[in-house]
Amino acid sequence: MSSPPGEPVLRCVSLWKSFGPEGRRVEVLRGLDLAVWRGEMVAILGESGTGKTTLLHLVGAIDRPDEGSILFRGRDIASATA
């Protein structure tokens, strides 16, 4: 399957997110890349504790990544302010 022309509607670039105190931090997302094109349906699958909910919180701007960017229609929502 080929990619549609143009830019994806949603793009995650090198997302990193960890939780916990210094010295005992748990890395949940490690350099995640994702592109979602207009009209595309995507399923996020994985075992418990693998970062599915964390990813959705980041994409929904409920939380911010430690590193990386989240582009929605070309605009970086990871660094946007309320």
Domain holding 51, by residue range, is 10-76
Domain count, the chain: 1
CB-based contacts of 58, cutoff 8 Å, min separation 6: 12, 15, 17, 29, 64, 65, 70, 78
Asked, for residue 5, whether it belongs to a domain, the answer is no
Identify the band that residue 1 occupies on the pLDDT scale cut at 50, 70 and 90: low
Span 67-71, average pLDDT: 97
Q: What is the mean pLDDT of residues 72-80?
A: 88
pLDDT tens for each residue of 27-61: 999 999 999 999 999 999 999 999 999 999 999 99
* pLDDT at 82 (0 to 100): 57
Residue 3 is assigned to a structural domain of this protein: no
Is 57 in a helix, a strand, or coil? Answer: helix
pLDDT of 29: 97
Is 40 a domain residue? yes
Tell which wins on pLDDT, 64 or 79.
Answer: 64
Cα separation of 70 and 48, whole Å?
A: 23
